[in-house]
Structure 1
């Protein structure tokens, strides 16, 4: 950890000097300033003594209402009258300072403000900072001086946690919980809302989802080490897109003007995974400025490989009548033995041109790829193929004539996210700012391999006891040399092949114009803008199946290896030979029968065009900053999917189409009031939208199979977007040394919330009756989401000696939500909000002193509803709350080299889903702990 000696205000609070490089605030920084009508423009930059930019610093002109906030490069812009003025600079963690500046009429001025000179004469005025506290300072200053309710994660703060992707980094923010896949964070739930209620952008470019079934972005595709900072806007301004009921996440990548010299940094390391093999991660960033510091270039790369072998057991439950009463029994149990290799690679780049103070242009791009190559050996106990015997209870049952299956699935999933944006901005002599950008974003998800080979036994007797619902007993394992271990009892059942490719492409143009003026003797900053974006999505699925005896690869024994397969304490026999299976898949895939009709009906294409415009005014009333405005968005949607005329595919199909045109208005009032320099109050009245998933609107039908379980997803072209009227109220107190205590309350009045109902009764599709589960999305006319966020961050610098290195992070979120449906289901018309946990909290204790830093962090979210079962509340599907304990430590040698270690999931917490009550466990999955060691360097 490098130590900076930061001077107090009485010694050398700041140094002002002409800038050799152009310094210019971005649009956000300019928008936060209340400016004079005419005068000279001051372009400034605030850095610390080491030359690092200080984002979120507040710059005031004494005796006026003029105020600016520095952007992520520490830059600000002020329009002032000519002559002498006093600039005051406030930054949490550093002493406040002031300096007289004299401007010449008709000439712009450049100033460099350095907080914390490195010569000290009074030890009492010295503040020692480190990596953790520097990251906290950057985040808190940006949050404190933002117009709306914003949470910020800096790169320094992200690097202090063992979080390999953006989703896991965001779980540390108050009000944010994550949904996991095999132990890794994938989606985020902001303030208890569904993941699709949060829009995600990279450098201001909205990212299309990779999954064809949702608008939620798979954040496990984006590695955390490409990030400069992450901004989570929980209240929106008129200048922001309205499609974020819960909040908007903007991931900012690094800029060559962050350090303004040749800068090279990187890291590398490896780990041990308790439930898998070795993992590796590495990344590097290089940047420089050229041509008298008017041109900058940056390149960043990242790579990681993770091996996962989680233990997983799934149980499917149904109700059966026994002696006139209903009992819950299993219809199948699946023991899934995974061998998974996950790789992430990312590339970001930036070219920036700043020929003068008032002009800048940029080209930024990013590419991220996530690949999940998975072999899954499954032993299935298919009770539903047999006959339930009398005497069954809610925990025990016996079936005769049941079957056992052995299955291998080789699935390769690839997610690609690419963004590219070119833009520029111009500041005029009167302080007006114009900016524009043209962006392109592309997301693609493909499954080049989704191959399955299934063997099935004849009838046998199976029983179970789920008294210990996490570790049930099954009769099949009572004899280690028994039925399931004899390959001769199994015969070829089928092979199945699936290919999926979904591609979303988004092109957008936006422009903003900001104009300072006076109205009624008060300084008012007007801002106007427009945006047009068009998004195309194409989802294509190829599905094949062959049950002919000629398609068999041979006996089960010929396809098995000598590698044992285990799940928890269950001995599953021997694994399939992956090489033999892949050879078989390659050989027979080309000879598979004609494409199944169900996969034709799963294809769809759509185009969504959104034209938006807004106007807002920003003005100050004393210590109160007010933004009022209106945003209007028009959405045009066209989609189509294949509609089968005859379900067996013998007749041709026709295209079913849907077209929609909708205009919505989004009024906005955002108020920030400074009760004192450190006590900030916030209030916002906003309106926002969440458009339906593309797959939900198009009139399509898709079949999903998992072993013998078949279900259908059916689209609803009449589905309406969800709208929310929002009230936010917050109070934040910032400690002058470094820290914050805050409380933020919110209420969202939901209209047309969309939810998915799961039916377990026969359904007629295209004239054919299916005795299978099916899901379809429906609008709920009423709903609400309310909650309270509490947050505490504090460094214990008031303690003596070594104890002053301790500090704490803690946050707690409580939410309450429900939806009211238009009709009753099983006697119910009121439901919990899917994805909403009542409680969610984080706690971390950190220590930083003399180059050493360490953090012990704990996170926990409560149970939440995942699926509503329209037939039976006892079969609603829930996800059990999960806790996790992590530890990180590092030592900085002071020469640019740092060693670090991470220990993740020390609690060995499981992922659990259940039906109705925890005793009816649907899925029990464990991932183990992970220990990572590495080295970082900076040149």
Structure 2
């Protein structure tokens, strides 16, 4: 243990930019941060890594130019987090969006994820998901072990990109010159997934060497899990058309089981050269990939297509209900190539300059060959369903008696999965690719109490790809067995039961998706050789898009430091140029190439003030203007049609979309406690114009009908500009090590935060709509103990429900889809066997959370999903 006493005035005398204080210096991410406590005269007892990381984070927050929250390096590694999204979720006012239970997107202050921008080593990056349908950054593609720290800048200074309405997140990678000599560290872990019993494993290795002049680092990480996801969906809900209507309620009961192999890999390398003090050159390369091999078994009980019977929101009694099976063994791939070189200069007399050049490529590819088949009328069962717990409808199956008017027969013990007929193969694809070139430079001059800064940024990005396409359909029933292309969809049923915790009323067995996929690939290859299958038809030209955007930005900023505080004021100018090209489908199926560009210049002022009311008490107030631009998929020219969904879906871009603009104000009162602690309250308000919102409605016409397919009942989705809106809230944050407790109890500590959020926006048709993705309440809490070589932490995460998708073009709330709130509890345990070797155990999702969505109210669930608990143990080493 060590005791360190400091004076706050010593720290305050060292000026730095907002970004430098928001994150440790790239040259030495941990060591560059002073280890003094901001309150004069206190002794701090350092007892372990959690405390050291907490202390570093609190100090950086205390001295920052803006409102910022920090997760220091060791806190990232010691939480039971696999990727950077999970690590960020520990910070105040942060919520996480999951896919198949895995953390993916970050929402700060409950705002839409597009309102948060991202930078890596201070260089802005953009997110491009599958199909380019969002600008939100996929944090599941960045393993936490690649990072030295995380910062959330909640108020902006002018040297940060303006495309950040609520926050900018800076991901800082490891610097080899933070530790002298040879340093090697890594971990190996193995565990199981409780649902399905699949394995999970992880490992990382990082080796660095440096002296006073040169440093090099090489590293990599790997994470893989075999996962089962239990899923129920309901599709849409029909409304009664009259008081005597007996056919309304759920249109289908959709039973799904996903068996996944998910894998994240990362490689990184860095070189740093510091010939003399104050001069540094560096180069870093990062490669990450996300691989998702997904087997899906799905059976839809198509209630609205029954021959006769009744159905409603409490139950139903239906005769001859068609059952459709959908099966796939598909691949989702995401690749990131991030390459940056840079240099820094500090002349020792107040002049500082830096430059960075970056090339980033992202690749998102999806290949999803689907097989669909349905029961013929003679094999379609009758059924009753009990909807009293709408999340888990209980179904009783019956035989169907044939006749002019079919009737319900004897009860069945299960569904015969070998009764499907008329199989088809649908070749689903979705790709997007981006290439981004960025140059960024900054220069500042310190002159006594004034520091003047300026800089610029130029980015040239190209984005190409296509939205999800299912246009190429192969009728597998058209090939007789003797032709060598025969296909029997029923021969792939296995004797292995589904892994499920959800009640249903009957059981189902797994499909051998791998064997089915091999046979489909063989058939497709054979048909291609025969000239019957043309892969060029997989993606209609109207699904394709190509965009290019150029951003030129410059800023000027000044910081005035005075006794008891400082003021940072600046102005940022951004010129944006968008080239948008695609193809639209017009009446009669005629294709029309279109181009719809945009060009505009904007000013973004910002003001950040800090007042040191006492050695421990700090007050901040800040104001800023920001922007959020539409995603590439939202603004594209063209439309896409999905005939495989039930009901079918049509998505179209809107090239006339305008960006969202906001004025915002932030204020905080921060009290710094002994034991590296903080007690703070912060408030924020954002006024937003041109709010972007997505809408869904039934087509209601034959405008999209083609090839004999009736699409009048499909769902049509697009994005529009609403009117004005506002988002506001309060954040409460408390963290402290309990050093005042006697004896061994002083190893306990607590970190917790609570955010209360409200806000709404208007459209021409509807007022006071909640922002999609916004929960009213977000909470994170961790109780930890660290002493005698033991480091243990129990973490709790909570968020309330949030609006996910608007329905009916915003005309009413009954069709809106919500995501239900949830609670997660994780446990992380570390024990240091020696100073260089420790054992760990991570226990995740101990609440066994069920994630669900519903239409209008909880009595109308549209999706219910569960992935189960996860357990992992292993070793960590360093030397």
Does the alignment reach a TM-score above 0.5? yes
Asked if 1:632 corresponds to 2:573, the answer is yes
Asked if 1:584 corresponds to 2:519, the answer is yes
Question: Which of 856, 864, 877 is the matching residue for 2:802?
Answer: 864
SS at match of 2:79: coil
Q: C-alpha offsets along residues 330-369 of structure 1, whole Å, 9 cap, x if unaligned? A: 1111111111000110012110010011211110121111
Q: In 2, Cα distance between the equivalents of 1:29 and 1:172?
A: 22
Q: In 1, Cα distance between the equivalents of 2:284 and 2:828?
A: 32
Question: Which of 187, 196, 202 is the matching residue for 2:120?
Answer: 202
Asked if 1:221 corresponds to 2:141, the answer is yes
Which residue does 1:82 correspond to in 2?
Answer: none
Q: In 2, Cα distance between the equivalents of 1:298 and 1:27?
A: 26
Asked if 1:473 corresponds to 2:397, the answer is no
Question: Which of 361, 373, 384 is the matching residue for 1:442?
Answer: 361
Structure 2's unaligned 5+ residue stretches are 400-408, 480-484
Which residue does 2:330 correspond to in 1?
Answer: 411
Shift of 1:183: 1.1
Question: Which of 230, 254, 263 is the matching residue for 1:343?
Answer: 263
Aligned ranges for residues 509-908 of structure 1 at < 5 Å? Answer: 509-517=439-447, 523-540=449-466, 543=470, 544-547=472-475, 549-551=477-479, 553-567=486-500, 568-570=502-504, 571-590=506-525, 591=527, 593-594=533-534, 595-596=536-537, 599-644=540-585, 653-763=591-701, 765=703, 770-821=712-763, 823-824=764-765, 828-870=766-808, 872-908=812-848
Q: 1:705 to 1:204 in 2, by over 3 A?
A: farther
SS at match of 2:522: helix
Shift of 1:707: 4.1
Q: In 1, Cα distance between the equivalents of 2:424 and 2:438?
A: 46
Question: Which of 461, 468, 485 is the matching residue for 2:415?
Answer: 485
Shift of 1:572: 4.0
Which residue does 1:72 correspond to in 2?
Answer: 29
Q: 1:5 to 1:704 in 2, by over 3 A?
A: same
SS at match of 1:486: coil
Q: In 1, Cα distance between the equivalents of 2:348 and 2:51?
A: 39
Q: In 2, Cα distance between the equivalents of 1:374 and 1:617?
A: 52
Asked if 1:156 corresponds to 2:94, the answer is no
Conserved? CA contact 1:388–1:397, under 8 Å: no
Conserved? CA contact 1:386–1:400, under 8 Å: yes
Q: 1:695 to 1:891 in 2, by over 3 A?
A: same
Asked if 1:92 corresponds to 2:12, the answer is no
Q: In 2, Cα distance between the equivalents of 1:207 and 1:383?
A: 46
Q: In 1, Cα distance between the equivalents of 2:816 and 2:537?
A: 31
Shift of 1:753: 1.0
Q: In 2, Cα distance between the equivalents of 1:665 and 1:753?
A: 19
Q: C-alpha offsets along residues 806-850 of structure 1, whole Å, 9 cap, x if unaligned? A: 1111110000010111x21xxx33311100000010111111111
Q: In 1, Cα distance between the equivalents of 2:418 and 2:4?
A: 80
Which residue does 1:286 correspond to in 2?
Answer: 207
Q: 1:762 to 1:686 in 2, by over 3 A?
A: same
Which residue does 2:218 correspond to in 1?
Answer: 299
Conserved? CA contact 1:813–1:841, under 8 Å: yes
Shift of 1:468: 1.3
Shift of 1:412: 0.7
Over aligned residues, Cα RMSD in angstroms? Answer: 2.8
Shift of 1:747: 0.1
Aligned ranges for residues 24-103 of structure 1 at < 5 Å? Answer: 28=17, 72-75=29-32, 91-92=36-37
Aligned ranges for residues 126-145 of structure 1 at < 5 Å? Answer: 127-145=45-63
TM-score (norm 2): 0.91
Shift of 1:556: 3.4
SS at match of 1:802: helix
Shift of 1:794: 1.2
Q: 1:723 to 1:912 in 2, by over 3 A?
A: same
Moved more, 765-774 or 893-902: 765-774
Conserved? CA contact 2:782–2:795, under 8 Å: yes
Conserved? CA contact 1:317–1:328, under 8 Å: no
Conserved? CA contact 2:662–2:689, under 8 Å: yes
Which residue does 1:193 correspond to in 2?
Answer: 111
Q: In 1, Cα distance between the equivalents of 2:56 and 2:367?
A: 43
Which residue does 1:365 correspond to in 2?
Answer: 285
- Residue-pair matches, total: 839
Q: In 2, Cα distance between the equivalents of 1:796 and 1:784?
A: 39
Structure 1's unaligned 5+ residue stretches are 16-24, 34-53, 57-68, 77-88, 98-124
Which residue does 1:379 correspond to in 2?
Answer: 299
SS at match of 2:185: strand
Moved more, 231-240 or 396-405: 396-405
Conserved? CA contact 1:29–1:70, under 8 Å: no
Moved more, 467-476 or 608-617: 467-476
TM-score (norm 1): 0.85
Question: Which of 2, 5, 23 is the matching residue for 2:2?
Answer: 5
Q: C-alpha offsets along residues 202-234 of structure 1, whole Å, 9 cap, x if unaligned? A: 212333323110000111111111110001101
Conserved? CA contact 1:597–1:644, under 8 Å: no
Shift of 1:374: 0.8
Conserved? CA contact 1:404–1:484, under 8 Å: no
Which residue does 1:49 correspond to in 2?
Answer: none
Aligned ranges for residues 155-194 of structure 1 at < 5 Å? Answer: 155-194=73-112
Shift of 1:764: 6.1
SS at match of 1:167: helix
- Structure with greater strand percent: 1
Moved more, 211-220 or 326-335: 326-335
Q: C-alpha offsets along residues 147-191 of structure 1, whole Å, 9 cap, x if unaligned? A: 101111112112222111111111111101011111111111111
Conserved? CA contact 2:306–2:319, under 8 Å: yes
Which residue does 1:106 correspond to in 2?
Answer: none
Asked if 1:433 corresponds to 2:355, the answer is no
Q: In 2, Cα distance between the equivalents of 1:385 and 1:198?
A: 44
Q: In 1, Cα distance between the equivalents of 2:293 and 2:539?
A: 25
Moved more, 907-916 or 561-570: 561-570
Q: 1:753 to 1:7 in 2, by over 3 A?
A: closer
Q: C-alpha offsets along residues 734-767 of structure 1, whole Å, 9 cap, x if unaligned? A: 1133100001100000001100011124156579
Conserved? CA contact 2:187–2:205, under 8 Å: yes
